[in-house]
Amino acid sequence: MTTQNDYTPEEWMQVLSAPAVAGTLIISADPSVFGSIKESYGIAKAIAAFSAATSNELVRAIGAAMQGGQRPQMPAIDKSKGPAGMLDAMLAFCKEATDLVSGKSADDADEYKRFLMDVAQKTAEAGKEGGFLGIGAVRVSDQEKAALARLAETLGVTA
């Protein structure tokens, strides 16, 4: 198992940030004002819950670092590529982070990928999308389902 000390400061920032990026990927897939507010809160809640419930030292360290005030950094995004380019950049960022973890520990990599997927799923479920005044709204929109599937494919896991 690895800890923060096994990563350079730059690597640690990417590993620390990827769960929040995975959640932001879902918000970006189907943005809405009220849904995005609930989903943004859902990211932090999912990170705290998963990191508290796991025995994995790396994931616990990420949760502790965030609770201690360390904030994630979003990847650089070329806005000229539009929403699709933004999603691609976030997927690539998450893949690079999982590759960093995989390079240090295969055991940590599996749990870390589950962590990213859990944060993304909980983010998607945090707010309802579509409808009018809540009527006809769905918990997870088709766009969010597609983003979850792309994240799972990128990470090489089952959605």
Q: What is the mean pLDDT of residues 11-21?
A: 97
Q: What is the predicted pLDDT for the residue at 42?
A: 82
Residue-wise pLDDT for 71-121, tens only, equals: 999 888 887 888 888 999 999 999 999 999 999 999 899 999 999 999 999
Measure Cα distances from 35 to 1, 32, 39, 56 in Å: 36, 5, 6, 31
Helices and strands in the chain: count of H runs, count of E runs: 6, 0
Residue-wise pLDDT for 18-71, tens only, equals: 999 999 999 888 776 455 666 777 898 999 999 999 999 999 999 999 999 999
For 25, counting Cβ atoms within 10 Å of its Cβ (0-12 exposed, 13-18 middle, 19+ buried), the class is buried
Q: What is the predicted pLDDT for the residue at 33?
A: 46
